[in-house]
Each structure stands twice: as C-alpha cells, then as structure tokens.
Amino acid sequence: MSGFGGVLPWARRTIVEQEKWLTSEEFSAMLGICQIVPGPNIVNLAVCVGSRFAGVSGALAAVLGLTLGPVALVILLGMLYEHYSYMPMVQGMLRGISAVGVGLIASTGFKMMCSELNYPPMLIVILFTVLAASYFQLGLGWVVLLASPLAFFLARKKANR
C-alpha cells in the first residue's frame, strides 16, 4: 500500500535492507530475470520471492498481498478523481506524487548500481547502457540486446571469482 506509482523501491527496501531475505546481488539478479519475462516486473518479482520461500502457495500469497489492497485503493481514488479532478489543488497533488515516484525509482536504481561497484568491470555495462539510452537514444529492446552479452560475460566472471 506504500508504493503509489512504483512498488519496486519499497520492495527492495523491505526485502534487502529491512528483512534481509535476499542480498543486494540476489535481488538485482532476480529483478533482471523478472524484467525479461512478460508481465509487470514487480508482480514477477513477487512470484519469484514468494515461490523461493514458500512454493506455489507463497507465490500466490505474494501476488495477492501485493495487488489486492492497491487495486481497491485505486478504484476508490478513481471514483474520487472523477468528482474532483477539475480542482487545481487535486492537479497539483498529482504532480507532486509523480515527482516523488520518479525520485524513489531513481534512488532504487542508484542503490542497485552501488552494489555493482564492488566489481568495477561492471561499470562498463552501466556506462554503455547510459550512453546507448541517452546519447544514442536507442529503445529499450536495442539497449538490452546490445548490453546483454557483455553483462552476461562479466556476471559469469564475477560469479567465478
């Protein structure tokens, strides 16, 4: 219920920093797999974490726990928005909430990047990804396609260390 517009920062904080169910590296690896599987990343991550600790019932409980409360809240907010969307105060609140969401996602990305600094060659992948997406303005599919072979190679070297 805490993650309006993006649950990933909250999930990482709970799973890695507070509960210590996964290490930062395990979380990043699991999230990487969940990003290439069809479906919402956070739901895929809930399935992976739930099934890792409690099998099929854990996966089901994780997905339901992740989605039932927010779905009910979004339906309620949608009904309220339908009646009050014309108010400047409501429009300003929504702009503020979206800025907070961007900040949370950026913060999580930075924390995940910091865990990769333990293996400096991985900085090549980070630099390549940033350049490909921002300077060359390649789409996500092309960035993943081009960066994946180098990332897999370096991850294998890191795992063998």
11: buried, middle or exposed (CB in 10 Å: 19+, 13-18, 0-12)?
A: buried
76: buried, middle or exposed (CB in 10 Å: 19+, 13-18, 0-12)?
A: exposed
Residues 43, 1, single domain; the answer is: yes
In tens, the pLDDT along 85-111 reads 889 999 899 888 888 878 888 888 888
Q: How far apart are CA 128 and CA 54, in angstroms?
A: 38
Mean pLDDT of the chain: 88
Residue range 56-65: mean pLDDT, rounded: 95
Residues 110, 124, single domain; the answer is: no
Residues 135, 56, single domain; the answer is: no
When divided into structural domains, the chain yields a total of: 2
Query: Is 0.85 topped by the overall pTM?
Result: no
Residues 46, 75, single domain; the answer is: yes
Residue 142 reports pLDDT greater than 60: yes
Residue 4 reports pLDDT greater than 60: no
Residues 102, 82, single domain; the answer is: yes
Residues 106, 127, single domain; the answer is: no
Residues 60, 128, single domain; the answer is: no
Specify the pLDDT at position 53.
94
- Domain of residue 141 covers 119-161
Q: Identify the band that residue 2 occupies on the pLDDT scale cut at 50, 70 and 90.
A: low
Q: Provide the token pair at 44.
A: 């895929």
